[in-house]
Amino acid sequence: MTKIIGLTGGIGSGKSTVASYIASKGIPVYIADEEAKKIMELPEVISEVQQLFDEDVLLENNQLNRTKIAEIVFKNPQKLQELNAVIHPKVKLHFINWLKQYEDFPFVVKEVAILFETGGDASCDKIILVTAPEEVRIQRVMQRDKTNSINVKNRIKNQLSDKEKKAKSDFVIENIDMNNTMKQVDKVLKILNENGL
């Protein structure tokens, strides 16, 4: 039975960089956020999501305006829950089908930004948490998303604190210096391989 290794971390922690590095080692990596974006482009999902909002959240091409949706849901936890209730079951089903292709692998990695918040940790055999100091994370996201620190802090507030996540994780990778991060990842992968996980 293929084991599932959860990979998570707060916004700007660098979990996507870690996921890419793990994938470069030939280990199958499932990026839940990317798959969620693709699912949100399906016509039936677009209409389901639009029904959650009082205002129009569609772009001119009838695709969802994800920037506008993000602004609404990050200020409104109830709406965020409703949106997650539409998207997460579809991502879960997609992952189950994806997993079938990799049954010969000892383990796969599932990268999920809000793994604990959605209860996804329950289906993981081990969990890797990527962390970085909050001020570093804020800087990274401001540069990446061309946004301000207030927006980033609001998004951080919607996620569990690193302290809470650390208590629930099997491995913690401090992602400040890239070379050091890769060494930490190699060490974790070695332990997983040696333990038949």
According to the annotation, is 15 in a ligand binding site? yes
Helix (H/G/I), strand (E/B), else coil: 116: coil
| DSSP element (H, E) containing 103 | none
Please name the residues in contact with 18: beta carbons below 8 A apart, sequence gap of 6 or more.
7, 9, 128, 130, 173, 175, 181, 185
According to the annotation, is 149 in a ligand binding site? no
According to the annotation, is 118 in a ligand binding site? no
| DSSP element (H, E) containing 102 | none
According to the annotation, is 17 in a ligand binding site? yes
The dihedral sign for the CA sequence 142, 147, 148, 152: negative
According to the annotation, is 26 in a ligand binding site? no
The 10 Å Cβ neighbour count of residue 30 is 21
Q: How far is CA 101 from CA 31, 52, 113, 184, in A?
A: 15, 34, 23, 28
According to the annotation, is 13 in a ligand binding site? yes
Query: For the chain, what is the radius of gyration of the CA atoms?
Result: 17
Q: How far is CA 39 from CA 4, 36, 54, 136, in A?
A: 22, 5, 22, 31
Q: Which residues are annotated as a binding site?
A: 12-17
Binding-site residues for ATP sit at 12-17
